[in-house]
Amino acid sequence: MVKFKALLFLLFFFFIPIFSIAQTVHVVEVRNFEFVPMNVDIAVGDTVEWQWVEGTHTTTSDSTTGQNVWDEPIDIGHQVFRFVITAPGVHHYHCTPHQSIMVGTITATAVNSVDDETNSPEKFQLSQNYPNPFNPVTKIKYEIPLGFATSPFSKGGFVTLKVYDILGNEVATLVNEVKSAGEYEVEFNENNLPSGIYFYQLKAGGFTETRKMVLMK
C-alpha cells in the first residue's frame, strides 16, 4: 500500500506537470544582422523562442508599455530566450545594436476554439439555390460539418459541386477541392446555356445530395 501511494505521488508531481506545460513553441534563430524567420505567425498563448547562432544582439519589443514587452540580450552568454505572447495583434521587435537593419514581426491571432466548434455545422446540407428560377445568375449555399476533413471516409475533406442538364450531362463544376468545416456560398453564372431544368449535386465523402433549379431566359 505504501509503494502504491508513493507511485501516485510520483505520477502527480512529475508526469502531470509535464503534460500541463505542453505548448507550441516557435523558434527564431538570431544570426548576424537577421532574425530567421523574420515574420512569425502564432496563436495567442504560444511561445516564441529566440536561439543565438552568432553575433551580439538583443530581442527588444518596439512597444514599451502593455503586457507584451520584452528586452533581452541574445549572445554567446545568453543563447536562449523565451517569451509567451498573451495579446492578439502585430508585435514588432528589433535588435538594439542593429535596429536599422535587424527587425522582426510576430503576428498573434486569438484562438476561439470553443466558439468555432459551437458555430460549425453539425451535418451536411445543400440548400435550394436563390433565386430560382434565375437568369442568368443564382447562388448556392452548402454546409460541411465539423470533423469531415479528418474522417477516414472523407478522402481528405474533398468536396465537389457540379451542375448537370436534364440528360445527365455535366455542364459546370463549381467546387472541386478540399474543404474544412463551415458554411459556403458559390455563384452559378451561365449565359451560354439554354432555358430549362438543371440539377446541382454536392458530393463529400459518402454524402451526396442533388437539387433542381430552373434557368428561365
The pLDDT score that the predictor gives to residue 1 is: 52
* Per-domain residue ranges of the chain: 24-111, 117-215
Cα 196 to Cα 217: distance, rounded to the nearest angstrom? 9
- The residue among 96, 112, 95, 113 whose CA lies nearest residue 104 is 95
The CATH code for residues 24-111 is 2.60.40.420
Percentage of the residues of the chain whose pLDDT score is greater than 70: 80
Assess if CATH 1.10.10.10 describes domain 117-215.
Answer: no
Check if 24-111 and 117-215 are the same fold.
yes
Q: Is the pTM of this model over 0.75?
A: no
Radius of gyration (C-alpha) of the chain in whole angstroms: 27
Q: Is the pLDDT of residue 42 over 80?
A: yes
Adjacency order of strands within the sheet including 125-126: 125-126, 137-144, 182-189
Q: Is the pLDDT of residue 7 over 70?
A: no
- The residue-averaged pLDDT of 187-214 equals 92
Q: Which residue pairs, CB below 8 angstroms and at least 24 apart, start in 21-26?
A: 23/47, 23/84, 25/49, 25/82
Q: Is the pLDDT of residue 142 over 90?
A: yes
Whether the Cβ atoms of residue 175 and residue 160 lie closer than 8 Å to each other? yes
Using DSSP's 3-state secondary structure scheme, residue 5 falls into helix
Q: Is the pLDDT of residue 191 over 90?
A: no
Provide the pLDDT confidence category of residue 180 given band limits of 50, 70 and 90.
confident
The pLDDT score that the predictor gives to residue 149 is: 59
